[in-house]
């Protein structure tokens, strides 16, 4: 090592965890043991598979990508990223499980495992910390397995962990009285201000310090004069993971919990979350929110895939997998909208970005494409319309670059037809509901499932309410939905055998999406609408239909069990394809199943066929 280079190496690595924790003499010794290698753009490197000859690599400049032997992208790494971990493992070094290719001209520092182990031999605490650090990086995330504790916290409902210690008071209560109740009665850091049964504000102990004490505000004044108006909230039956995402997105530490009647029932704070748990999905959401460029966002694609693989491999419930993946897609979506507005300028008028289809239903998986729309104010000019067209193109192309395919049917905001004024959207829904023929029904089926992702919630509510007024008690529309839902039969033959595709690229396979999942989504929509429900999720719709008398308890259990089972098959199929480097699709191969899975698949198809027949008799 050229001694003149040592100061530069030390200056670089001393900023990187865990080297920033090394004492100066040890840091200098590590720097002296470092070798410098150079990879030209496109040059390949396969790290040694012998642990005794292995290296820890630190990227100084440039970037590389790692790929598994089957070609699947493992990770993309840039300056200050490291690879070649697992120094403490007694097993074969997993560095051999991937190859490295330089994306651009790249300068890399490397230090041999034996040399580093020798240098750290006298400091086991540093060596232990070093090994733990490897588990937090992207490459380790690709091998993450969900622990019982992780499932136990972040996949619980908010109601299960929220604190009941929250003061609920009225707007005209004095500031002093609220402070006393927070201190003496509830012993809480937060008070909810409720007027006529509705949450209208929030006040925290920090607000008291900043807005009252520091400003010298008269403490006899009503608390409404210093409260935070229209605070963010979370539903009691939402996932803790969603609550954590909201707290991170809006940088808030006190999240009131509401029940199904919008009554305040509790409070969620970091103390309920920061225990001994961590979930990789939380980390990627935070990373997305801190990205500055589209390239940075796109580099998180491998990490998103790793999260899906971990959830599927960990046998997490299918509805939770869908919700988690939808939360991640929402975060990408909002970040790209933020970037688009920074590039194009502030939106000229009120608008809302709407998710449709499976995205709206929170049923996202690795094959999900984009279904979206923009609704903007009726006051918008032609120039304003062009602005929103440009914004939509920016966001949709960005999502595609981040691994969310463009919709083959062009049901996206980037398509001019689906980026329109509120009045135009109302006209669409009126025509579709009045004449639900094939093309009209296809359009309505996609945009019947909608929810807001960003922008004006008021604008969304106006459109959604109008939609439901058009289809409420609309027998012609309901009949069209039913005909569509029963036109495709589950693939069971007369001898109870599975009917497979007989020719083409997918010969001897069965499309689980067409054969089961789409049918269940359609049936859930029908029975929820029949009971005047506005829910969007498939399982939510079945439960709503049951609680409002549209289906009985036995049917509910059959439908939920079947829906969860066929989605589990789909997710497992996608997981195996990802692990084997194969193209993702919905075409499962029943011959690869055991008798147990084939039997239950047939049971699932029989349940769907029976519900279809009951639906036909009831509505046709």
Do 119 and 162 reside in the same domain of the chain?
A: no
Give the separation between CA 421 and CA 306, rounded to whole angstroms: 39
Residues 6+ away with beta carbon under 8 Å from 406: 369, 370, 396, 400, 412, 414
pLDDT at site 285: 82
pLDDT at site 417: 95
Using an 8 Å Cβ cutoff, are 273 and 158 in contact? no
Is the model's pLDDT at 593 over the cut of 80? no
- Convert the pLDDT of each residue in 138-158 to its tens digit: 233 323 344 444 444 556 788
Give the separation between CA 595 and CA 306, rounded to whole angstroms: 30
Kindly state the tokens that stand for 439.
């093309």
> Does the residue 586 lie in any domain?
yes
Helices (H), 258-381: 270-273, 280-290, 294-298, 301-313, 318-344, 357-360
> Does the residue 280 lie in any domain?
no
Q: What is the pTM of this model?
A: 0.65
- Convert the pLDDT of each residue in 391-445 to its tens digit: 999 999 999 999 999 999 999 999 999 999 999 999 999 999 888 876 677 777 8
pLDDT at site 88: 42
pLDDT at site 140: 33
Which is nearest to 79 in space by CA: 13, 164, 146? 13
Do 598 and 518 reside in the same domain of the chain?
A: yes
Higher pLDDT, 509 or 54: 509
Is the model's pLDDT at 502 over the cut of 60? yes
pLDDT at site 132: 34
Give the separation between CA 526 and CA 537, rounded to whole angstroms: 13
Local confidence band at 381 (pLDDT 50, 70, 90 cut-offs) = very high
3-state SS string for 37-48: EEECCCCEECCC
Do 8 and 137 reside in the same domain of the chain?
A: yes
**Around Cβ 337, how many Cβ atoms within 10 Å?**
22
Do 252 and 297 reside in the same domain of the chain?
A: no
Which is nearest to 148 in space by CA: 271, 315, 365, 282? 315
Q: Which of 37-41, 320-324, 570-574 has the lowest mean pLDDT?
A: 320-324
Local confidence band at 52 (pLDDT 50, 70, 90 cut-offs) = low
Sign of CA dihedral 128, 129, 132, 137: negative
Which is nearest to 267 in space by CA: 275, 259, 255, 258? 255
pLDDT at site 354: 97
Query: Average pLDDT for residues 53-63, to the nearest whole number?
Result: 88
> Does the residue 94 lie in any domain?
yes
Which is nearest to 96 in space by CA: 76, 64, 66, 72? 66
- Mean pLDDT of the residues in the chain: 84
User: Taking phi first (over 0 means left), then psi (-120 to 50 degrees means alpha), and beta for anything else, what does residue 129 get?
Assistant: alpha
Residues 6+ away with beta carbon under 8 Å from 296: none
Which is nearest to 523 in space by CA: 469, 472, 486? 486
Give the separation between CA 592 and CA 182, rounded to whole angstroms: 61
Residues of the chain with pLDDT > 70: what percent? 86
CA 591-500-321 angle, 5° bins: 70
pLDDT at site 141: 30
- Convert the pLDDT of each residue in 191-243 to its tens digit: 999 999 899 999 988 888 889 888 899 999 999 999 999 999 999 988 887 88
CA 93-98-104 angle, 5° bins: 125
> Does the residue 108 lie in any domain?
yes
Residues 6+ away with beta carbon under 8 Å from 95: 47, 48, 49, 54, 83, 84, 86
Higher pLDDT, 156 or 594: 156
Is the model's pLDDT at 451 over the cut of 80? yes
Say which CATH number the domain at 165 has. 3.10.580.10
Do 203 and 97 reside in the same domain of the chain?
A: no
Residues 6+ away with beta carbon under 8 Å from 473: none
Local confidence band at 97 (pLDDT 50, 70, 90 cut-offs) = low
Local confidence band at 499 (pLDDT 50, 70, 90 cut-offs) = confident
Instruction: Write down which residue in 412, 427, 442 finishes a domain.
Output: 427
Residues of the chain with pLDDT > 90: what percent? 49
pLDDT at site 200: 94
pLDDT at site 524: 97
Helix, coil or strand: residue 505: coil
> Does the residue 470 lie in any domain?
no
pLDDT at site 143: 35
- Convert the pLDDT of each residue in 516-538 to its tens digit: 999 999 999 999 999 999 999 99
Say which CATH number the domain at 421 has. 3.30.460.10
Using the structure block, give the residue that is written with the tokens 């290719």. Answer: 101
pLDDT at site 174: 95
pLDDT at site 310: 76
pLDDT at site 585: 92
Query: Average pLDDT for residues 173-188, to the nearest whole number?
Result: 86
- Convert the pLDDT of each residue in 251-305 to its tens digit: 687 899 999 889 999 888 765 554 433 455 666 887 898 899 999 999 898 888 8
- Convert the pLDDT of each residue in 63-94 to its tens digit: 888 887 777 666 677 888 888 764 444 444 44
Helices (H), 87-193: 113-120, 124-134, 138-141, 148-154, 158-161, 175-180
pLDDT at site 391: 97
Do 303 and 178 reside in the same domain of the chain?
A: no
Do 194 and 295 reside in the same domain of the chain?
A: no
Higher pLDDT, 146 or 105: 105
pLDDT at site 2: 66
R_g of the chain computed on alpha carbons: 28
Instruction: Write down which residue in 427, 450, 465 finishes a domain.
Output: 427
> Does the residue 423 lie in any domain?
yes
CA 489-492-496 angle, 5° bins: 150
pLDDT at site 114: 87
Is the model's pLDDT at 29 over the cut of 80? yes
3-state SS string for 516-558: HHHHHHHHHHHHHHHCCCCCCCHHHHHHHHHHCCCCCHHHHHH
- Convert the pLDDT of each residue in 119-141 to its tens digit: 888 776 666 545 433 333 323 33
pLDDT at site 273: 58
Higher pLDDT, 96 or 284: 284
Q: Could you tell me the strand order of the sheet in which 190-195 lies?
A: 167-169, 190-195, 198-204, 228-229
Which is nearest to 587 in space by CA: 524, 517, 506? 506
Largest Cα span, the chain: 86
Give the separation between CA 173 and CA 225, rounded to whole angstroms: 10
* Distance between start and end Cα atoms, the chain: 83
Do 381 and 404 reside in the same domain of the chain?
A: yes
Query: Average pLDDT for residues 44-60, to the nearest whole number?
Result: 78
> Does the residue 432 lie in any domain?
no
What's the domain range around 589?
483-619
Local confidence band at 602 (pLDDT 50, 70, 90 cut-offs) = confident
Local confidence band at 348 (pLDDT 50, 70, 90 cut-offs) = very high
Query: Average pLDDT for residues 316-329, to the nearest whole number?
Result: 88
Do 194 and 130 reside in the same domain of the chain?
A: no
Give the separation between CA 279 and CA 273, rounded to whole angstroms: 11
Do 91 and 179 reside in the same domain of the chain?
A: no
Helix, coil or strand: residue 25: helix
The number of domains in the chain is 4
Instruction: Write down which residue in 240, 273, 306 finishes a domain.
Output: 273
Do 516 and 611 reside in the same domain of the chain?
A: yes
Using an 8 Å Cβ cutoff, are 388 and 419 in contact? yes
Is the model's pLDDT at 486 over the cut of 80? yes
> Does the residue 466 lie in any domain?
no
Do 367 and 421 reside in the same domain of the chain?
A: yes
């Amino acid at each position: 090592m050229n001694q003149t280079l040592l100061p530069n190496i030390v200056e670089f690595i001393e900023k990187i965890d865990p080297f920033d924790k090394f004492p100066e003499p040890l840091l200098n010794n590590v720097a002296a043991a470092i070798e410098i290698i150079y990879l030209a753009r496109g040059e390949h490197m396969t790290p040694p598979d012998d642990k005794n000859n292995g290296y820890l690599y630190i990227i100084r400049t440039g970037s590389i990508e790692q790929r598994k032997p089957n070609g699947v992208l493992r990770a993309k790494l840039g300056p200050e990223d490291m690879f070649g971990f697992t120094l403490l493992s007694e097993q074969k070094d997993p560095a051999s499980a991937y190859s490295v290719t330089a994306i651009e001209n790249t300068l890399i520092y490397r230090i041999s495992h034996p040399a580093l182990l020798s240098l750290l031999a006298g400091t086991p605490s540093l060596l232990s910390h070093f090994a733990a650090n490897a588990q937090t990086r992207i490459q380790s995330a690709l091998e993450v397995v969900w622990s019982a504790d992780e499932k136990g916290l972040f996949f619980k409902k908010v109601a299960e962990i929220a604190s009941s210690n929250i003061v609920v008071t009225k707007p005209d209560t004095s500031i002093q009285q609220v402070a006393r109740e927070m201190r003496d009665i509830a012993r809480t850091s937060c008070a909810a201000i409720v007027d006529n049964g509705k949450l209208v504000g929030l006040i925290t102990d920090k607000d008291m310090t900043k807005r009252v004490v520091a400003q010298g505000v008269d403490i006899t004044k009503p608390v409404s004069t210093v409260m935070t108006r229209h605070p963010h909230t979370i539903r009691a039956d939402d996932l803790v993971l969603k609550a954590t995402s909201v707290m991170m997105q809006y940088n808030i530490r006190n999240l009131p919990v509401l029940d199904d009647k919008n009554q305040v029932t509790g409070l969620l704070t970091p103390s309920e979350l920061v225990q001994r748990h961590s979930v990789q999905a939380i980390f990627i959401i935070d990373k997305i929110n801190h990205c500055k460029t589209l390239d940075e966002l796109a580099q998180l694609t491998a990490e998103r895939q790793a999260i899906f693989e971990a959830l599927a491999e960990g046998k997490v419930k299918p509805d939770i997998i869908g919700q988690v993946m939808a939360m991640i897609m929402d975060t990408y979506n909002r970040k790209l909208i933020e970037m688009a507005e920074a590039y194009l300028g502030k939106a000229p008028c009120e608008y809302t970005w709407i998710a449709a289809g499976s995205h709206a239903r929170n049923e996202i998986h690795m094959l999900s494409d984009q279904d979206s729309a923009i609704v903007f104010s009726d006051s918008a000019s032609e120039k304003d319309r062009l602005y929103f067209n440009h914004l939509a193109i920016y966001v949709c192309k960005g999502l595609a670059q981040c691994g969310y395919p463009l919709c083959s049917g062009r049901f996206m905001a980037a398509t001019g037809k689906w980026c329109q004024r509120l009045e135009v959207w109302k006209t669409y829904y009126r025509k579709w509901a009045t004449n639900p023929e094939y093309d009209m029904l296809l359009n309505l089926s996609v945009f019947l499932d909608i929810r807001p992702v960003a922008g004006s919630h008021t604008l969304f509510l106006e459109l959604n309410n109008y939609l439901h007024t058009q289809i409420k008690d609309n027998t012609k529309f309901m009949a069209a939905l039913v005909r569509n839902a029963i036109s495709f039969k589950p693939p069971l033959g007369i001898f109870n055998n599975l009917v497979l595709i007989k020719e083409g690229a997918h010969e001897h396979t069965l499309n689980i999406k067409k054969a089961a999942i789409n049918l269940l989504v359609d049936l859930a929509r029908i029975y929820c609408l029949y009971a005047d429900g506005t829910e969007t999720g498939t399982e939510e719709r079945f439960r709503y239909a049951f609680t409002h008398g549209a289906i009985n308890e036995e049917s509910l259990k059959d439908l939920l069990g079947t829906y969860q089972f066929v989605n589990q098959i789909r997710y497992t199929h996608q997981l195996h394809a990802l692990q084997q480097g194969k193209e993702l699709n919905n075409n499962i191969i029943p011959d690869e199943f055991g008798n147990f899975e084939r039997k239950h698949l047939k049971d699932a198809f029989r349940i769907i066929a029976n519900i279809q027949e009951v639906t036909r008799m009831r509505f046709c």
